[in-house]
Amino acid sequence: DVKVTQSSRYLVKRTGEKVFLECVQDMDHENMFWYRQDPGLGLRLIYFSYDVKMKEKGDIPEGYSVSREKKERFSLILESASTNQTSMYLCASNRGGGGNTIYFGEGSWLTVV
Amino acid sequence: QKEVEQDPGPLSVPEGAIVSLNCTYSNSAFQYFMWYRQYSRKGPELLMYTYSSGNKEDGRFTAQVDKSSKYISLFIRDSQPSDSATYLCASKGAGAGSYQLTFGKGTKLSVIP
């Protein structure tokens, strides 16, 4: 089975803190994604990466950055956390090419106070 | 217009009922269609995956795609309380550059014992 692991399930951070959300997948997938999910807004893509050191902005990249130094690991960085970044963050991955669905991690619940 | 539209519900049914969940999409390039199930405070898990038009059955679940009307359906027979979750439909193009899925916002289903 595909395994996407998000190391932190629940975090509480203060406004202005730098926050790192880590994600690891064990299926040698080329593509990795970070989404946030909010009630009434659904899943919104923040960033995705189709290869090591490659990244593309999604729909809502403002206030976020990402890092992909190794194929299996994709990190989401909040440079200066704000209260409007309180949300559930979901990491996902899939194999490159057409027709390959996305597998999600369990999610990271971030509260910024 | 969002590319995938889904009625958010909530939908509440008695145990044993047949459930019909539906989405419409606008992008004719979509070729792959998925349904994800998401339990509360968990990541989405892949439930059904279909290519192009037609039906696919897996136990109590049937996914149906009608590309002529751009309509995606999920049917749940003999619904159980354990089916209570949010169901997300998703679609994807077939091209090599089609990395991403486009998601509906999800329908929250409650199956009452």
pLDDT 10s digits, A40-55 = 889 999 999 999 989 9
* pLDDT reported for residue B1: 56
CA distance A92 to A49: 10
Instruction: Name every chain B residue with its beta carbon within 8 A of the beta carbon of A8.
Output: none
B34 and A40 in contact by Cβ < 8 A? no
Work out the pLDDT band at A2, boundaries 50, 70, 90. low
Query: What's the mean pLDDT in B17-33?
Result: 93
Alpha-carbon span A91 to A81, nearest angstrom: 18
**What does the mean pLDDT of chain B come to?**
91
Q: What is the pLDDT of residue B29?
A: 86
Q: Which of B49, B94, B106 sits opposite A101 (nearest CB)?
A: B49
Q: How confident is the model at residue A98 (pLDDT cuts 50, 70, 90)?
A: low
| Average model confidence (pLDDT) across chain A | 93
Please determine, for residue B97, whether its predicted confidence score (pLDDT) is greater than 80: no
Residue A14: count other Cβ atoms within 10 Å of its Cβ.
9
Q: What angle do CA B73, A45, A69 make, to 5 degrees?
A: 130
Say which DSSP state B94 is in: -
pLDDT at residue B46 in the model: 93
Q: Does A39 touch chain B (CB under 8 A)?
A: no
